Chain A
Amino acid sequence: MDASLIVLALMDGASYAALLFVVALGLTLIFGVMRILNIAHGSLYAWGGYFAATLGLAITRFGLPSWLALPALFLAAIVIGSLLASVLEFTLLRRILDKDPILQLLVTFAAFMVLEDLQRLIWGVQPVFVSEVVNQFGTLEVAGVTYTRYQLLVLPAVAIAALIGLRWFLGRTAIGRQVTAVTHSREVAIAMGVNAQRVTWLTIALGGVLGALGGALASPTTSFTPGIGADMLVLSFAVVATAGLGQIGGAAIAALMIGMARSFSVYLLPEIEVLVPYLIMVAVLLVRPEGLFSSVAARRI
């Protein structure tokens, strides 16, 4: 495999990883603060994408200026992500905090099923696709291959911005520190006067926005059809498990690993492309069950 193909594989892997990272980030945030793996996160991705496509279609239909297309994606993600996540938090997540972990998982699984069907009832079964944004940014050539600026520049830029932004938020702002506190130990945080319920809601809304953002960013290049949420969910699961639950920087690295491994396999051995994320997950979990980057926690007796 010569140098130019390696460069190509790296480019493809990076843009795929960027999307994966944004979605996985939302999942890992919600787990951190609630200790619940939110299976309905897959629906957030799907709804984010569908809603972004709807907004995009509305922009063309109502003749609004086309430069609105990119901000519309973010708007869609913020609106639908925070709305849906808040509804989930209020109706379900808040009320299952003290239940058996198995029941918690199942409730989010049930929520996922409900949202899948609702999504189908709202948007139907035809593939939905709005690609104005990508065309606006144009293309550029690397090693003789044409890439869209959107996938090569915009997506990684958003992912990096999300990473840095979140790090800053969690480490430098008052609310961010409260989130970190609640993630680390809920009881102690409450004892210190933190309004854990509000902080939890905020974090879940943020996680929801990230999940929906992944979908919104994917919508200009991908056709959204029923079932797309389930596939993205299990992939982001693989990223989160490999990185370690609640690890943010780790999720970026895990997403890159999986993205790169996938794109390299398409060039070298296309048959194993689907297997690669799960093989990585198995390999990592067998060696380090808490994930690559998690801190070792003391065992409670």
Chain B
Amino acid sequence: MRTATLVSLVAVLVLAVLGVSLSMPWLKTPVLMAISHGLAVTGIIVLIRAGQVSFGHAMYACVSGYAVAFLGRAFHLDTLWLVVLGTMVSIAAAALIGVFMVRYRGIFFGMLNLAFSMVLFSVLGKFGGLTGGTDGLRFDRPAFAGFVMEREDFETALLGLGLVLAVGGGVLVMRYFGGVNGQCLAALKTNETRLEYLGISAKRVFWGGYVLSATLCGLGGTLFALTQGLVTPDMGYWVRSGELVFIAILGGSGHALGAFIGAFVFEFVKLYAASLLTGAWQLALGIVLIVMVFVAPKGLYGLLVRRCKPPEPKARAVRKNVVKEVVA
């Protein structure tokens, strides 16, 4: 998609989200959830670019969420500090785990991430004295940039922050993809050995990508925790990680915008399916995903790109036909 089209599309979407959320206040919560999931999914698509999928990345959202809860309860920090510190905890965790993780590829990578996340999930659920157990930890609404706010205003402020983070995160990821590190990351999928031949450490590149993906998941986790005022071990359950991958494919794993489109569609289908088809929303979503995989494997973003493609200039088309004839 051309840059101009992309920028205008993003601008329109941001304004639409703002407008809708402000006119219907109850929508702010699901919108914030969608944005936080979108951020986490942006992390997932970084990994997908390397040809890897992690079934445990929800643990980074979980870790940052719990960090926010602990810090909020203990020190009553400001929201912005909580977001920064929570994400830093995720980064630290990923940097450490990543050192081991980057040796693995494919199904083993996915499984090891799953194992770590299940250990975290079980620990959080068991050691209730520290972590609040399966009911989780509540924390009071923190101040935002120094202002103490009521729920309505706080959510509006979070929404603003969320949109800034979403656009920022998306831009960051796309620039990463276009840069040297991102291209090297993509090479992990296509031909890792050749990358090594070039003298570039595949492990280091992957580590960088892994930490970036965890950062985005961590950011999403802090936003989620702040919106809910509650963190539970479910934030790190393997089904959550599976849902993140689901959204990545639904929205389109090639572009950050796809992550957010997927997250919004997922969130709202889930919300309305839950109220209209109680007991069958999983069925509906499952069928949607299967259809998507067969019909539109590049996701909703892929469909969007196809529609927005600029028409081919005639000269190029003519030359293509000539080549076809020669080859045939």
Residues of chain A at the chain B interface (Cβ within 8 Å): 37, 39, 92, 95-96, 99-103, 105-107, 109-114, 116-118, 120-121, 230, 234, 237-238, 241, 245, 271-272, 274-275, 278-279, 281-282, 285-286, 289-290, 301
Q: Whose C-beta in chain A lies nearest to the C-beta of B291?
A: A110
Contact (Cβ within 8 A) B242 A238: no
Whether, in the assembled complex, B178 has its beta carbon less than 8 Å from a beta carbon of chain A, the answer is no
- B111: A residues at CB distance < 8 A: 237, 241, 281, 285
Contact (Cβ within 8 A) B287 A105: no
Number of interface residues of B (CB under 8 A): 44
A178 to B103, CA, bound (A): 34
Contact (Cβ within 8 A) A110 B290: yes
Known contacts A107-B293, A110-B246: A278-B100 contact under CB 8 Å: no
Contact (Cβ within 8 A) B293 A99: yes
1/0 contact string of B99-126 vs chain A (CB within 8 Å): 0100110111011101110110011011
1/0 contact string of B309-321 vs chain A (CB within 8 Å): 0000000000000
A301 to B118, CA, bound (A): 33
Main secondary structure of the interface of B (DSSP, over half): helix
CB-contacts of B271-328 with A (<8 A): 279-283, 285-287, 289-290, 293-294, 297
Kindly list 13 other residue pairs between chains A and B, CB separation below 8 angstroms, not including A117-B279, A286-B112: A95-B294, A103-B293, A105-B110, A106-B245, A111-B290, A117-B280, A118-B283, A120-B279, A241-B111, A241-B115, A275-B123, A290-B108, A301-B191
Contact (Cβ within 8 A) A117 B112: no
A121 to B282, CA, bound (A): 12
Contact (Cβ within 8 A) B242 A109: yes
- B282: A residues at CB distance < 8 A: 113-114, 116-117
Contact (Cβ within 8 A) B293 A106: yes
Known contacts A105-B53, A117-B282: A301-B107 contact under CB 8 Å: no
Query: How many whole Å from A75's CB to the nearest CB in chain B?
Result: 28
Please name 11 pairs of A and B residues whose Cβ atoms are closer than 8 Å in the assembled complex, sorted by A: A95-B294, A102-B245, A103-B293, A110-B290, A116-B282, A241-B108, A272-B126, A274-B125, A275-B123, A285-B111, A290-B108
Contact (Cβ within 8 A) A271 B122: no
Whether, in the assembled complex, B249 has its beta carbon less than 8 Å from a beta carbon of chain A, the answer is yes
**What are the 7 closest A-B residue pairs judged by CB atoms, nearest first?**
A113-B286, A117-B283, A114-B286, A110-B289, A110-B286, A113-B282, A281-B115
Specify which of B100, B242, B286 is in contact with A117 (CB 8 Å cutoff): B286
Specify which of B245, B281, B297 is in contact with A105 (CB 8 Å cutoff): B245
A110 to B289, CA, bound (A): 6
Specify which of A95, A120, A279, A286 is in contact with B100 (CB 8 Å cutoff): A286
Specify which of B104, B107, B118, B289 is in contact with A101 (CB 8 Å cutoff): B107
Contact (Cβ within 8 A) A278 B289: no
A37 to B280, CA, bound (A): 25
Q: Whose C-beta in chain B lies nearest to the C-beta of A40?
A: B286
Contact (Cβ within 8 A) B280 A278: no
Contact (Cβ within 8 A) A103 B297: yes
Whether, in the assembled complex, B238 has its beta carbon less than 8 Å from a beta carbon of chain A, the answer is yes
A289 to B94, CA, bound (A): 19
A99 to B238, CA, bound (A): 23
Specify which of A118, A120, A245, A285 is in contact with B112 (CB 8 Å cutoff): A285
Contact (Cβ within 8 A) B53 A113: no
Query: How many whole Å from B271's CB to the nearest CB in chain A?
Result: 16
Contact (Cβ within 8 A) B106 A278: no
Whether, in the assembled complex, B48 has its beta carbon less than 8 Å from a beta carbon of chain A, the answer is yes
Q: Whose C-beta in chain A lies nearest to the C-beta of B297?
A: A103
Query: How many whole Å from A289's CB to the nearest CB in chain B?
Result: 4
Contact (Cβ within 8 A) A92 B290: yes
Q: Whose C-beta in chain A lies nearest to the C-beta of B238?
A: A234
1/0 contact string of B178-197 vs chain A (CB within 8 Å): 00000000000001010000
Contact (Cβ within 8 A) B116 A282: yes
A272 to B280, CA, bound (A): 35
- A289: B residues at CB distance < 8 A: 103-104, 108, 112
A39 to B289, CA, bound (A): 14
Whether, in the assembled complex, B239 has its beta carbon less than 8 Å from a beta carbon of chain A, the answer is yes
- A286: B residues at CB distance < 8 A: 100, 112
Query: How many whole Å from B33's CB to the nearest CB in chain A?
Result: 19
Query: Which residue of A39, A92, A96, A278 has the most chain B CB atoms within 10 A of its CB atom?
Result: A278
Q: Whose C-beta in chain B lies nearest to the C-beta of A240?
A: B111
Query: How many whole Å from B107's CB to the nearest CB in chain A?
Result: 6
Known contacts A110-B287, A289-B103: A278-B249 contact under CB 8 Å: no
Query: How many whole Å from A134's CB to the nearest CB in chain B?
Result: 29
- B123: A residues at CB distance < 8 A: 275
- B55: A residues at CB distance < 8 A: 105
Specify which of B103, B115, B249, B290 is in contact with A282 (CB 8 Å cutoff): B115
- A275: B residues at CB distance < 8 A: 119, 122-123, 126
CB-contacts of B110-157 with A (<8 A): 110-112, 114-116, 118-119, 122-123, 125-127
